[in-house]
C-alpha cells in the first residue's frame, strides 16, 4: 500500500497562477512563430488563423507581462507594432522541443490508448 499524499505537498507553491503559460492553447504556438525574430500582429495571425484578434492580443499581453515577449511600437503612419521573444522566452524553446520529441515518439501509443479507452467505454 502506498503512503497517503501529504496535505501540504503544494504549500510552498504560491497561490497565484503559474508563470509558465505554455500549457494554454496559444502560447506555445506564438513562441514558435517568434523563433526567427520579431513579427507584426498581422503576421502572427496567418499561421494562427484559429485565434481571434481579441484572444491573440490577450495572449501577447500576458506573455509580455510575464517577460516572455517584448512589444515595440514604432511611431509611423500607419502604426507598426512588433513582438519578439525575450531571452527568458527563448528559454522555453528547449523544453518545448523535448515535448515535441516525446509526442513524435509516443503518439502511436497515445492514440492506441485513447482508442482502447473509447472502445471499453462504448461497450459491446
User: Cα–Cα distances in Å, from 85 out to 32, 46, 56, 102?
Assistant: 10, 18, 15, 24
Domain 27-91, second-level architecture: Orthogonal Bundle (1.10)
Mean pLDDT across 88-92: 94
Over the stretch 91-123, which tens digit does the pLDDT of each residue have? 999 988 898 888 889 999 999 999 999 999 987
Contact 44, 59 (CB under 8 A): no
Q: How many CB atoms lie within 10 A of CB 9?
A: 8
Q: Delimit the domains of the chain by residue range.
A: 27-91
* Whether the model pTM is above 0.85: no
Q: Looking at residues 78-99, what average pLDDT do you find?
A: 92
Helices (H) and strands (E) in the chain, counts: 5, 3
pLDDT tens-digit map of 26-52: 898 999 999 999 999 999 999 998 899
The Cα–Cα gap between 42 and 54 comes to 13
3-class secondary structure, 115: helix
Amino acid at each position: 500500500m502506498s503512503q497517503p499524499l501529504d496535505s501540504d505537498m503544494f504549500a510552498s507553491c504560491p497561490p497565484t497562477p503559474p508563470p509558465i503559460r505554455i500549457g494554454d492553447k496559444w502560447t506555445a504556438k506564438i513562441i514558435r512563430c517568434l523563433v526567427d525574430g520579431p513579427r507584426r500582429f498581422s503576421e502572427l495571425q496567418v499561421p494562427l488563423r484559429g485565434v481571434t484578434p481579441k484572444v491573440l492580443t490577450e495572449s501577447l499581453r500576458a506573455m509580455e507581462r510575464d517577460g516572455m515577449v517584448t512589444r515595440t511600437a514604432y511611431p509611423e503612419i500607419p502604426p507598426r507594432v512588433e513582438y519578439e521573444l525575450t531571452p527568458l522566452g527563448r528559454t522555453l524553446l528547449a523544453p518545448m522541443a523535448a515535448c515535441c520529441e516525446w509526442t513524435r515518439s509516443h503518439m502511436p501509443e497515445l492514440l492506441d490508448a485513447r482508442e482502447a479507452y473509447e472502445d471499453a467505454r462504448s461497450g459491446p
